[in-house]
Amino acid sequence: MDRTSGERRLASDSDSLLSADATPLVSASRKLEDVSFGAVVDADDESRVLWSTPAGLEIVGRGIAARLTADGTERFDRLRARANRAFDGLEHDGPRVARPRAFGGLSFHDGHEPTPPWTGFRAGEFVVPQILVVRSDADTWLTAVASDHETAADRLERWTDRLRELPSMRPSGDGPGVESTRRTTSRVDWTAQVETALERIERGELTKVVLAQALSVDLEGPVDVPETLERLRRRYPNCYRFLVGREDGGTFFGAPPERLVAKRGDRVETEALAGSMPRGETPEADRAYADEMRDSEKFQREHGLVADAIREQLEPLASDLTIGDQTIRRLATIQHLQTPIEATLEGDRHVLEIVEALHPTPAVGGVPPAAAWETIRDTETFDRGWYAAPIGWFDAAGDGEFAVGLRSGIATDETVTL
């Protein structure tokens, strides 16, 4: 089967799209030899996802077995309800690591409208892919998801054949050249935004707010997002990597360092990551930068605001909460103050409830969160879309993992907005 006919066949799979109220999903799994994840995700004519963690879990998905969407102020409640219906009665014959999951994210603001460059990205949207390839430390698995056993089994066989024909290594390139760049916020507008924020701080309405800008880059040709993520993997191996590609829009991708939340059962892990310095050119200079963050009243106050806010947001949901010792998180070009935070949940809760409680974190929003959120919405002159918002996955049990969509961009045709 050649690539063109294979893509036509794969594209036809999207005709079997399920709504959240359709019949229960079933899945079938099979152990694989290792495959090129870049080759699997390399498609721009259908929905595709990639999720990779610093711990080594890597997942790619293609197609849509179920789509869960919600807009407005009640989007978290609606997503949870639709997720429960979509996963109700799910049958899965493989190991836990290969189970079906819903991948996606939410916009920073609940009033988000999917306008360019965010065409196709709702205020809240997750998809259960028809095909998942999952690689852990131990094994690689292929999982097919459908509304009936026969379709799942057929999809599993066809994709097993398809994966055998894909190259084990995907050729790499240097990427297209840059034609021009432009900032979405003028210097005059930026100055006005900062002055407005400072006035609100002086009036006591805010303690901290994090403002942002976007950079629009026109390229000589379309960007190869999977190859870009591979370069980011080599440069930042201890960061998350994600890709969410819409068949009716662009591709959102990034390599954020910050975990928003990971939930398994009643255990929750999150972190405060705030306070940044560059890496030193020598070990001595590196340690000096780290010591400056540890000893600086400014850095410690900034970091403390984030840790305290996360504790306050989690405490109503937890029976037990532990704040770990402050450490230094070192990346290739930057280092941060980091404090791990763990909690035991009180009662049965979905990971989306934890995401709702924590978003936006003070590291990307501010303190108090609601006042900072309002200030960002009132003053910024560009649409954040899914930038700095929750991105991740959840499963039928309500477990899942989310990162903060920082250090990211959205690619549409020959333009990338960073």
Query: Residue 262: its pLDDT value, please?
Result: 98
Q: Give yes or no: 208 in active site.
A: yes
* Residue-level pLDDT at 174: 73
Structure-token match 């994600």, residue found: 242
The answer to whether residues 134 and 58 touch, using CB atoms and an 8 Å cutoff, is: yes
Length of the chain in terms of residues written: 418
Residues in the chain, pLDDT under 50: 1-21
Asked if residue 40 is part of any domain, the answer here is no
pLDDT at 37: 79
If one counts the domains in the chain, the total is 1
On the question of a cis peptide bond just before residue 117, with omega within 30 degrees of 0, the verdict is yes
Has residue 193 been placed in a domain?
Answer: yes
Q: Determine, yes or no, domain membership for 335.
A: yes
* pLDDT (tens digit per residue) in 240-293: 999 999 888 899 999 999 999 999 999 999 999 999 999 999 999 999 999 999
C-alpha closest to that of 175 among 223, 141, 118, 242 = 223
247 is catalytic: no
Judge whether 118 and 417 are in contact, CB under 8 Å. no
- Domain span at residue 313 reads 179-219+258-387+397-407
Asked, for residue 318, whether it belongs to a domain, the answer is yes
What is the pLDDT at residue 289?
97
What pLDDT does residue 35 have? Answer: 82
CA angle in degrees (0–180, nearest 5) for 80-84-86 = 115
What is the full DSSP assignment across 163-187? HHHS-SS------PPEEEEEESS-H
Choosing from 208, 263, 380, 401, which is the catalytic residue? 208
Whether residue 112 is contained in a domain is answered as no
Alpha-carbon 405 to chain mean position = 5
**Does residue 90 sit within a domain?**
no
Q: Percent helix, strand and coil across the chain, each rounded to 5?
A: 30, 30, 40
Q: How far apart are CA 383 and CA 397, in angstroms?
A: 33
Which of the residues 258, 353, 380, 401 is marked catalytic?
A: 258
- CA pseudo-torsion sign 10, 251, 225, 234: negative
| Angle between helical axes of 297-314 and 351-358 (0-180°, round to 10) | 140
Q: Is residue 116 part of a domain?
A: no
Residue 210 belongs to a domain: yes
Distance CA 10, CA 80 (A): 29
Give the model confidence (pLDDT) of 106-143 as tens digits: 999 999 999 999 999 999 999 999 999 999 888 999 99
> Which CATH number is 200's domain given?
3.60.120.10
